[in-house]
Chain A
Amino acid sequence: MNGAHDLGGMHGLGPVNPYPEEPLFHEEWERRIFAMYVATLFVGIYAIDELRKNIEVMHPTHYLDSTYYEHWAYCVEKSLIDRDVISEAQVLERMNQLAGEAA
């Protein structure tokens, strides 16, 4: 699929700004989604190609405007919903519940 992820040869995306040393994760939720990506593959809910496919169907503006681990959060959630492991309603309900507990 020649979506926004297919970046080879595109001009104008700005400087690389490599840092010699940096943490692997910048936020705690990045650690958790990384581990869930690995764990859901390990227990065999889906294959890695399915996660790849679901990154590639992200809307181009969303893809380019979001961070790396946001892509992972998107594809893990979409793949789980597509496989009927969870529903979007369950996710929203659980978010409300967790937000209520934190308040």
Chain B
Amino acid sequence: MSRHGHNHSPSPSQLSLRVKALESLLVEKGYFESAALDRIVETFEHKVGPRNGAKVIAKAWVDPAYKQRLLADSTAAIAELGYSGAQGEDMVVVENTPTVHNLVVCTLCSCYPWPTLGLPPTWYKMPPFRSRAVIDPRGLLKDEFDLEIAANVQLRVWDSNAELRYLVMPMRPAGTEGYSEEQLAELVTRDSMIGVGLALAATA
């Protein structure tokens, strides 16, 4: 039976066994050691994530020169904070304003800026979000994310691809004038940087 010639999903236990067999063969052939795979998993589970992107956004909120660099050459400005590498080679930061809201999707798959946001949530990778984001973004945000974008606000949808990844700069919440960069970063959520949410409100 050839798996690549037919179209049914293997059972979960078959799939698990298949992946074990692939790892066993590649280790045996000397391409890498299993410990290297452990380190890759560890990095993405515990070291890379949306806190990186939140630091970028908070810095842009407090430092106008940085914000200008970030919007002019996002990849270089993000690298200034040490975030670069695979799946973040070419970054574009898009700014939310009182008249524009930005939403990021990858209709073809799951392209997402790994160095600044980590790995995407499951819903970002699944057909319902990918299909609807480009045909009914307002309805999608309202129905699924409880985010109503006013009719007079333009909604821009950015379709990511294997080379180019987008990061939304949410609007700085009102009442945060005295906040430090660290306090501001706490208000920047993953969802606000995808565009399915806003930055959190100031804590009184």
Contact yes or no, A8 B134, CB < 8 A: yes
Contact A98:B21 (CB < 8 A) given known A35-B40, A73-B15: yes
Contact yes or no, B9 A65, CB < 8 A: yes
Question: In terms of DSSP, what is the predominant structure of the interface of chain A?
Answer: helix
Contact yes or no, B131 A10, CB < 8 A: yes
Contact yes or no, B19 A13, CB < 8 A: no
User: Which of B56-64, B68-76, B106-114, B169-177 forms contacts with chain A?
Assistant: B106-114
Contact A43:B31 (CB < 8 A) given known A13-B131, A86-B25, A95-B21: yes
In the complex, chain A residues 60-103 whose Cβ is within 8 Å of any chain B Cβ: 60-62, 64-66, 68, 70, 73-74, 76-78, 80-81, 85-86, 88, 90-91, 94-95, 98-99
Contact yes or no, B9 A36, CB < 8 A: no
Residues 111-155 of chain B: 1 if any A CB is under 8 Å from the residue's CB, otherwise 0? 000000011011101111111111100001001110000000000
In the complex, which of the residues B15, B21, B127 contacts A94, with contact meaning CB atoms closer than 8 Å?
Answer: B21
Does B44 lie at the interface of the complex (its beta carbon under 8 Å from any beta carbon of A)?
A: yes
Instruction: Please tell me the size bucket of the interface on A.
Output: 35 or more
Question: What is the minimal beta-carbon distance from B129 to any residue of chain A, in angstroms?
Answer: 5
Question: In the complex, which residue of chain B has the Cβ closest to the Cβ of A91?
Answer: B21
Contact yes or no, B37 A27, CB < 8 A: no
A78 to B4, CA, bound (A): 7
In the complex, which of the residues B40, B140, B159 contacts A38, with contact meaning CB atoms closer than 8 Å?
Answer: B40
In the complex, chain B residues 19-40 whose Cβ is within 8 Å of any chain A Cβ: 19-26, 29, 31-32, 36-38, 40
Contact yes or no, B132 A16, CB < 8 A: yes
* A61 CB contacts on chain B under 8 angstroms: 7
Contact yes or no, A32 B131, CB < 8 A: no
- List residues of A whose CB falls within 8 A of some B CB: 5-11, 13-19, 22, 24-25, 27-29, 31-36, 38-41, 43, 45, 48-49, 52, 55, 58-62, 64-66, 68, 70, 73-74, 76-78, 80-81, 85-86, 88, 90-91, 94-95, 98-99
Give the 4 A-B CB pairs with smallest separation, nearest first.
A8-B107, A59-B7, A35-B37, A94-B21
